[in-house]
Amino acid sequence: MLQQQKRVTQSLPISLAQTIEVKMEVVFGTPSQNCIGSGVCMLMNRFPRHKQLPCPHAPAWISFEYGQLVFRFSKAEVLRADVASRLDPPWFLVEESFPVPRCAVRHLGLPAQHISPGIYRIVETNKDWFLAFPLAR
């Protein structure tokens, strides 16, 4: 079951809009290289309890804003040093496209189902790291 919450977006000048976020586990790496390399290997809606995952991974709140899939990583929840180093601004390299799970597509009302390779900007605040990906069809 996906965790879901509403967050108030305060960047709109006229009114406050609510953004739906779903919490997913982000596994870092390149899909064709068994999660070795750069980018996002996979998104998981359920993280296996009592099972160790050797690949770098972290929870993220994912939303769909202004035509982009936005990942918000809370610094309080990123516990692994190898993950924190991947979120070091200003750039995040995605070597290979990765799929967005159907459950996230459905919950967020996304028009597309994968993220294309590229170099994406990481934005850091006091509490979070943000990554925004334009969606590809």
The pLDDT assigned to 55 comes to: 84
pLDDT band at 14 (very low <50, low <70, confident <90, very high): very low
The pLDDT assigned to 7 comes to: 54
Q: Are 25 and 47 in contact (CB under 8 A)?
A: yes
Cross-strand bridge partners of residue 23: 3, 61
Q: Is 76 helix (H, G, I), strand (E, B) or coil?
A: coil
DSSP letter assigned to residue 47: P
Asked if pLDDT for residue 15 goes beyond 60, the answer is no
* Predicted TM-score of the model (pTM): 0.82
Render pLDDT for 23-66 as a digit per residue (tens, 0 to 9).
Answer: 999 999 998 998 888 999 999 887 667 777 778 999 999 999 88
Instruction: State the Cα torsion 96-98-82-118 to the nearest 10°.
Output: 50
User: Could you give the CA distance from residue 12 to residue 17 in angstroms, rounded to a whole number?
Assistant: 7
The pLDDT assigned to 46 comes to: 73
Q: Cα–chain-centroid distance for residue 10?
A: 20
Residue with tokens 């202004």: 66
Render pLDDT for 79-110 as a digit per residue (tens, 0 to 9).
Answer: 888 898 899 889 999 999 999 988 888 888 88
Asked if pLDDT for residue 137 goes beyond 70, the answer is no
Residue with tokens 């290289």: 33
